[in-house]
Structure 1
C-alpha cells in the first residue's frame, strides 16, 4: 500500500504518537517522586501502580506500553533512590552533619564564580570529593558531589583540576550535594586536567580574546552564546534579557547546540558528506559542544534537547523527534535524577515539546502567505514561549509581552554570532590575532542583541504582572492551551495575524504601560513605586506635581511609575543614600520633567554611584545640595522635617551608607509619615533619641524590611500602616519574617510592593487612612543592592 493510500487518521496517529513521550513523563515523575516524597509513600504508590497494571492486564489483556511504563518507573525509582542514598549516606555527609574539619581532595567540576559578600569577596564552585582524611580515618575512591565556598585565592582554579585543602564541612542545601566545603586557605594542586581539557580551555579563552575588540558587553555576550560563559555580563544586561524573554541565550541551551552542530552539518554537506557520515559528524559535534560547555548536568540536558530539536527540523522530523524526546528524558533521569527537580530542565523539555509538536503545524499554516524561512523564524520562538509561559510566570511573577518579538528580532544574528564566535575562538587558540577577523563581526551581532534587549525592556508594557498562586497559574495554563488550539487557524490568515501583532505592539508602547481603571486613586498622598529591590517613593504636592524620594535601580521603572501618576513636575528629588538600588533610576526622573533640586545625604559613598549622581545632575542642568539636618520645608499640601543623618556613621557600622540615610518626617492631610531610607539598627536608635515619643500613621520600613530593625523604635512609633518597598523573590530574603512579626505586634497593617505592585497611601475626605495598589505592568526581576 502506498503512503497516499494510508487512511488520514492513521497518518495523524503516527505523526502524533505520544507513547514515547509518555515514557519520558513517567521517568520524570518517578525520579521527582523518589526525591521529594517519603520512601514509604513512593513504595506504596509503586505497589498500587503495579497492582492496577496487573488488574488491567488480566481484564483487558497486556499492553506492551503499559508494561514498559511500569518497568521504567521501577528502574528510574530504584536508580534515583540508590544515587540519593550514596550522596546522603556516605562519609562526607556524615562528617558534614558534625561540622568536622578534614583534609579534602576533590576534583573541580565547574568553573569558579567570583561573588561579593558582606565581609568581602569569595568564590563558588562545585567539586567531587575523591579522598577524605578526618578524625584519624581515611577514605579513598569517593565520588561525592559538594559545593565549595572558598576564599578569593581559589579564583584561579580550573575545571578538571584535582585539589587538596584543609576545610570545614557543613550541611548543603541542595539535595544533590553531600556537603558544603569551606576551605581554610589556598588549594594545593594535586593533578592538572587532562590534555584535551587544556585544549578546550584555550578555545574558551580564545572566544573571549577574539571578541574583546568589539567592546566590553558585546565581547562578554558572545562567550555566553557560544559556551554559556556569562561571567563578564553586567547585571543590567541580565535584567534586560530576562524582561524580554531572551535569558535562554545567556546560558547553555539546546539552541546553542542546534546552531553549532547545524552549522557543522552544513559544512559537512558542502564537502559532500552524506548519510552515515553526517550522523558521525553530528555525533562528534555534540561531543565537542559538551566538552566546550563542560559536561555538567545542565549541559547534558541542553545537548539532549538540542539533538531532539535537530531531529525535528527535517522531513518527518516530528515523529522521530517525538520518540527521541521521550527516550532523551528517560536517559537523563538515569544519568542525573536531580534534573527532575530543576526548573531549567522543565523549561528545556517544555520548549522542545512545543517546537516539536506545535511549531511545524503553525509553520505550514503561515507558509500559505509567508516564505517558509520567515514562518519558521516566527513560529519556533512562539511555540517555545507559549508552552513555557506558565512556568516562567510562576518564577518571575510576570508574563513577557515582548518575548516573541524580541526573539524574532534576535533570531537572524544569534546563529552568526554563535558560529563566528566559536570559529574565532578556535583560530585564537592557535594564534590570537587569527580569531579577531571572525570575533569582531560576532561582537557586532551581539551588539544588535544587546540593543534589542535594551529597547524591549524599556517598553512601558514589556511584561504584565501575574500572580504565582495556583488558581492564577491554572487560568494562565488554560489560556495557553486555548491559544495553542486556536493558533493554527489564526496564523493561516494574513489579516488576522498582522492585525493581532499590530494591536499587541501598540499596547506595548503605551506611555506608562496599559491604563488601569481607577489609577491613581484621587485621594493618594504617597505612592511606593514597584521598582524591584529598591526604593522609589512619590509624595503628592498637587495634581501633576510630586516630590520623589529615591529612584530605584532602573530609570525605566521609576519613569513609568511617574507617568502613571501623571507627574510632570518634580520640585525636589531626595536621594537618601548612594546605593544603586536608591539612585540608579535618577535619569528616569530627570527625563522630560521639570526638576527643581536634588538633595543628597552627607556621606558620599559608594564613590562610583556618587560620581554617577553628580554627572547626571550636571548633564540635566539641575542643582544639587547636601541636606541639612533639622531643616523644615512647606510645599503645597506637604510639610516635612529632616531628622537624619545627624552625624557620620560609626566606624563599626555594618553599612556606613545605610547608616547615613536621610530620614524625613512628612505631614500631609492630617497624617504623619516617617521615611527611613535603609537605616541600620544604630541609626534607628539615634533616630529614636532625636524624636522621643514620636507616633506616626505610616512607616516606610527601613532597608526593604530586612531583619535589622530596632524593635523599640517600631513599637514606640505604633504605625497604623507599614509600607515595604521590596523586590520579588529577592536574593536577600526581604522582608524578613521577624520584621513582619514585629510590625504585626506593633499593630501595623503591611503593604508590600513585591506582592501588590505600586502601593498608594490614601486619605479620604473624612481623614481616614487607606491603601490602594496597582499590579505592575512591568515586574522588575530580583536583584539590587542589599
Structure 2
C-alpha cells in the first residue's frame, strides 16, 4: 500500500497544481512553475552517499515537485495561448465578427431569458484577417445548434466576450442565428452518431421512460430524458447510472475479453482487441471526464495483462489522473472528473476492508454489494454536498436495489447497439429484456426519490464539504466505541420514531384544501389554482413540458378549464404541451399585447386575448384581469425582453378565504402604472422571478402575507435579487422560493393562509 501511495503522490501533485494555477495570469503561472521546478531539480540532481537512507524520500519529493511544475507550466502555456491573439482582442473590444469554428463538444440546452439557449464548446480556426486555433464557448439561441455533433465545421456570426480566466478559453461568443454548415463531421463522429441513432431507433418501441434511460446507461445519450425523471435519479443517488463511467467500460471490456477467450485468442491477442473496443466505446460515448478516466485506467490494465505484470488499482488510477490533467488541465476543476476519481478511489481503498468486516456478519455477495456501494457513496459525498447543498439519505439502499439490474441492462444494451448495425429488427428483440431491467431501475429511482427526507438540506460549497468530512470522522469514532454506538443508536431510534409520527400526523402531498400551488419548473413560472375536484386553472407553464406535467399529476389535476399564458417568453409558454398531456384544456388566454408567438410556438392553441377589467369565474374561483393597460405597446418580433415583460397579464384570483395577485413578469414601468389599481391580497406572486426591477409601491400596495418567488436553482441571472428580498422583508411578508422548497402550496387556515412546501 505504501508503494501504491508513492505512485499516486505525483498524480495528486499534478491535480492540485493545475487546480491552483487555473485562473492565474500567465506570469503568475510561470512564477509558480519556477518556484516548484528549482527545488525539484535540486532534489533530483544532488548527489549524496549511496547509503543515504533519505535518498528514496528525496527522490519522491523531487518527482512530486517536478510533476507539479510540469502541470503549472502546461497551464501557463495554455493561458498565454488563449490570452493573446486576434480572438482575445475581439473579446476585449466586444466586437461582432464572422468566424469559422469546429465543434468540439455536444450541445447542451438550458432555459434562458425568454427562450432556451444552446451552449457548446468549439475551436475557432478563422477570424477576419487571421487563421487561429483556440478554444471558445458558444452561446446560441437557434435550435439548429442542437443538431450539431463534435468535429462539425461551421461558420457563425457572433459577439465576442472575455471569458473567466479559469476556463482557459479565448472568448465566449454570443452567436446570432443558425450555423452555416461548411462540411460533414469526421468519419469517426459520423460513425458514432450512426451507432447512437441506431440505438435510439432500436429502443423506440419501449415505454417512454425506458427508451430515455437505456441509451444513457449504454452510451451516455440522455437527449430523450425529461427533467422530472432526471431529478428523481438525482435525489435517489442514481445519476451516475446515466453517465458512462468505469463500471460501463469494465462491463464492456470484460465481455470483449470473454468473447476473445471463447474465440481462442490467447493472452497476447485478446488485449489489443479489447483496446480497440475501448477506443470505439470512447468515441461513441463521447470523451466525457468519467469516460476518459475509465478509458486510461482500462488501457493501463490491458497493458499489464499483455505484459503479464500484476495489476494495481491505485497506481492505475494515479496514472490516469496524471496523464489526463496534463493533457487537459481544466479537468482539475471539473466536478464530473472529481466524482469519477473519488468514486474509484473509494472502491479501491475503502471497499476491501469494509467487505472483510461485513462478510463476518452477512453472506458474501451481500457484503460485496453493500461495501462497494457504501464506499463509493462515502467517497463522493463531500463533492456532492459542495455542488447541491444536499446530503443523500437513501442513495446507498437505492443503489443496492438497482445494482442487480445494471449489468444486464448495460450488456443487453451494448449487444443491441452492435446488433442494430446489422439487423435493427433483431436489436429490437434484444432491448426488450433490457427494458425490464431499466424499468426496475426507474421504479427504484422514483420510489426512493418520493420517500420523505430522501435528501437532507446541507450547507453548500467548501464549508459543506468540510462539515461532511467532520461528520464522517465523528461517525467513525462512534462506530469504534461500543458505548458511543449504543448512545447513537438510541438517538437514531428516537429520531426515527419522531419522523414516523410526524409523517402520520402531517399531511401528504398535495395538502388537503390547497388553494394554489407554485410549481417548481426551474427558471420559469407555472401556477395552479384549485378549481374543483381534479380541476385547476393553470397560469403559465414553465420552460419545459415535463416539470409542469409532473406537478399537475402530483396534484391530481385531470381537467384544465382555463390556461393563462401571461406573456410570450419561453420560460412561461414552452411547457404548455405538458399541461395538455393526458388532460383537457378548454380555453387559453394570452396577453392582447402580443406578437402571436404563443400560437406559432404551440400550434394547438386557439388563444383569446385577456382584456383589462375582464372577469372569469370557474366554480367559486374568480379571476379579475388588471393588466396590461391599454397604453401598453403591441409587441413586434424585435421587441426586447423588458417590453415583453411589461405586456404580461396581471390578475387577481379570489375565492372565499383566499386571494392572490399574480403579476407575471411586469417590471418597474408597468408596476408603477398598475400600483393605483392593486388591491390588498393574501398572496403575491413576485414579478419576474424576484429580479431587482421592482417598484416598492407595487409590493407594499398588495399587503401580502405570503410572497412566492418562482425561480430556478443557481440561475444565470442572479434571481432573486438581494435588493428585492430586502424589499419583501421590509414589507413584513413571508418569502417562499421554489429553488429552495420545490412545489409550494398555499392552504387556508383558521387565521388566514399558510404555505406548505413539498420538499
TM interval, shorter chain, is: 0.7 to 0.9
Q: Pick from 710, 713, 719: which aligns with 2:698?
A: 713
Superposition pairs of residues 494-505 of structure 1, within 5 angstroms? none
Alignment match, 1:126: 121
Q: Pick from 554, 571, 580: which aligns with 1:588?
A: 554
Alignment match, 1:34: 21
Distance 1:369 1:285, change over 3 A: farther
Residues 546, 570 of structure 1: 8 Å contact kept: no
**Range with greater deviation from structure 2 (44-53 or 243-252):** 44-53
Over residues 489-539 of structure 1, what are the superposed CA-to-partner deviations in whole Å (9 max), with x where a residue is unaligned? 99xxxx99xx99x98998899597699xxx99xxxxxxxx9x9xxxx9x8x
Counterpart Cα distance in 2 of 1:427 and 1:161:
27
Alignment match, 1:162: 153
Distance 1:752 1:431, change over 3 A: closer
Alignment match, 1:374: 366
Alignment match, 2:591: none
Alignment match, 2:459: 467
Alignment match, 1:106: 101
Counterpart Cα distance in 1 of 2:372 and 2:223:
28
Residues 690, 719 of structure 2: 8 Å contact kept: yes
CA deviation after TM superposition for structure 1 residue 610, in Å: 4.5
Q: Pick from 216, 222, 241: which aligns with 2:214?
A: 222
Distance 1:379 1:505, change over 3 A: farther
Q: How many residues align?
A: 690
Alignment match, 2:438: 446
Residues 546, 571 of structure 1: 8 Å contact kept: no
Over residues 650-695 of structure 1, what are the superposed CA-to-partner deviations in whole Å (9 max), with x where a residue is unaligned? 7539779993464358998xxx98643645337745652323xx67
Counterpart Cα distance in 1 of 2:548 and 2:661:
13
Distance 1:201 1:473, change over 3 A: closer
Distance 1:348 1:202, change over 3 A: same
Determine helix, strand or coil for the equivalent of 2:396: helix
Over residues 617-676 of structure 1, what are the superposed CA-to-partner deviations in whole Å (9 max), with x where a residue is unaligned? 9xxxxxxxx99978999x9xxxx99654567997539779993464358998xxx98643
CA deviation after TM superposition for structure 1 residue 588, in Å: 3.3
Q: Pick from 484, 500, 515: which aligns with 1:548?
A: 515
Residues 721, 751 of structure 1: 8 Å contact kept: yes
Determine helix, strand or coil for the equivalent of 1:729: coil
Determine helix, strand or coil for the equivalent of 1:549: strand
CA deviation after TM superposition for structure 1 residue 43, in Å: 6.1
Counterpart Cα distance in 2 of 1:459 and 1:440:
29
1:659 is aligned to 2:651: no
Alignment match, 2:63: 68
CA deviation after TM superposition for structure 1 residue 416, in Å: 2.0
Counterpart Cα distance in 2 of 1:510 and 1:690:
48
CA deviation after TM superposition for structure 1 residue 379, in Å: 1.9
Alignment match, 1:676: 662
Residues 100, 153 of structure 2: 8 Å contact kept: yes
Distance 1:184 1:505, change over 3 A: same
Superposition pairs of residues 157-306 of structure 1, within 5 angstroms? 157-172=148-163, 175-184=167-176, 186-295=178-287, 299-304=291-296
Residues 82, 169 of structure 2: 8 Å contact kept: yes
Residues 29, 76 of structure 2: 8 Å contact kept: no
Over residues 691-745 of structure 1, what are the superposed CA-to-partner deviations in whole Å (9 max), with x where a residue is unaligned? 3xx6789855334423453444135557798564545434654213453355467
TM-score if structure 1 supplies the norm length?
A: 0.73
Over residues 411-459 of structure 1, what are the superposed CA-to-partner deviations in whole Å (9 max), with x where a residue is unaligned? 2222222222222222222343232222222233222222211111111
Counterpart Cα distance in 2 of 1:71 and 1:21:
14
Alignment match, 2:138: 147
Alignment match, 2:589: none
1:95 is aligned to 2:87: no
Residues 550, 575 of structure 1: 8 Å contact kept: no
Distance 1:746 1:66, change over 3 A: same
TM-score if structure 2 supplies the norm length?
A: 0.76
Alignment match, 1:361: 353
Determine helix, strand or coil for the equivalent of 1:147: strand
CA deviation after TM superposition for structure 1 residue 344, in Å: 0.8
Alignment match, 1:579: 541
Aligned residues: CA RMSD? 5.1
Alignment match, 1:4: none
CA deviation after TM superposition for structure 1 residue 290, in Å: 1.1
Counterpart Cα distance in 2 of 1:657 and 1:262:
60
Counterpart Cα distance in 2 of 1:386 and 1:460:
21
Structure 2: give runs of 5+ residues left out of the alignment: 522-530, 567-572, 587-609, 636-641
Alignment match, 1:736: 721
CA deviation after TM superposition for structure 1 residue 608, in Å: 3.1
Counterpart Cα distance in 2 of 1:489 and 1:279:
48
Q: Pick from 608, 625, 634: which aligns with 2:577?
A: 608
Determine helix, strand or coil for the equivalent of 2:539: coil
Counterpart Cα distance in 2 of 1:469 and 1:161:
37
Residues 256, 418 of structure 1: 8 Å contact kept: yes
Superposition pairs of residues 553-564 of structure 1, within 5 angstroms? 553=520
Distance 1:256 1:61, change over 3 A: same
Distance 1:695 1:198, change over 3 A: closer
Distance 1:751 1:587, change over 3 A: closer
Residues 628, 647 of structure 2: 8 Å contact kept: no
CA deviation after TM superposition for structure 1 residue 68, in Å: 0.8
Counterpart Cα distance in 1 of 2:234 and 2:646:
29
Counterpart Cα distance in 2 of 1:317 and 1:722:
66
**Range with greater deviation from structure 2 (599-608 or 277-286):** 599-608
Superposition pairs of residues 330-349 of structure 1, within 5 angstroms? 330-349=322-341
1:20 is aligned to 2:3: no
Distance 1:149 1:301, change over 3 A: farther
Residues 550, 573 of structure 1: 8 Å contact kept: no
Determine helix, strand or coil for the equivalent of 2:94: coil
Determine helix, strand or coil for the equivalent of 2:386: helix
Distance 1:481 1:18, change over 3 A: farther
Residues 115, 141 of structure 2: 8 Å contact kept: no
Distance 1:704 1:503, change over 3 A: farther
Distance 1:676 1:200, change over 3 A: closer
Residues 577, 662 of structure 1: 8 Å contact kept: no
Residues 211, 442 of structure 1: 8 Å contact kept: no
Residues 124, 135 of structure 2: 8 Å contact kept: yes
Residues 461, 510 of structure 1: 8 Å contact kept: no
Counterpart Cα distance in 1 of 2:493 and 2:203:
39
Counterpart Cα distance in 1 of 2:647 and 2:563:
10
Counterpart Cα distance in 1 of 2:565 and 2:221:
37
Distance 1:657 1:182, change over 3 A: closer
Superposition pairs of residues 306-455 of structure 1, within 5 angstroms? 320-455=312-447
Distance 1:212 1:318, change over 3 A: farther
